[in-house]
Structure 1
């Protein structure tokens, strides 16, 4: 049997998760912010995070591109180099 109070009550108004928040492109990090993040990661001994942050900043790659990288992408055959050349391919669809 249906409860009469639930059938006649008004449904909960849906509120978007980003209501009142800034959307769109964010401003780039300033050099003082980059250095403060690098220093914080270095002091905490978070070598992996520091390496990924440095790679993202220095190569201007997006975060989603950095986290999908594998060791083989930067160290062919287990050999690591001091420098890395990154080639970016842009594909435009009509």
Structure 2
């Protein structure tokens, strides 16, 4: 399935649910799932890997986590 096919499918689902497809997209769903994983586990490194970010700062920005807290969590995870 291509990215565009997935986006069309998502638009159809949103229409069926009566939601405005201009307010939701594939990226917002991707971010939402990872945000829920972060909220449940507090594992910022796992979120970084799931999002495919090379820099922790990108993950922090996307999830809206405070940098000091993110660095504290990151230091708790061994690579």
Between Structure 1 and Structure 2, the one with more helix by share is 2
Structure 1 and Structure 2 fold alike (TM over 0.5): no
Report 1 or 2 for greater relative contact order, CA contacts < 8 Å, sequence distance ≥ 6.
Answer: 2
Q: TM-score, normalising length from structure 1?
A: 0.27
Q: TM-score, normalising length from structure 2?
A: 0.30
| Higher gyration radius (CA) | 1
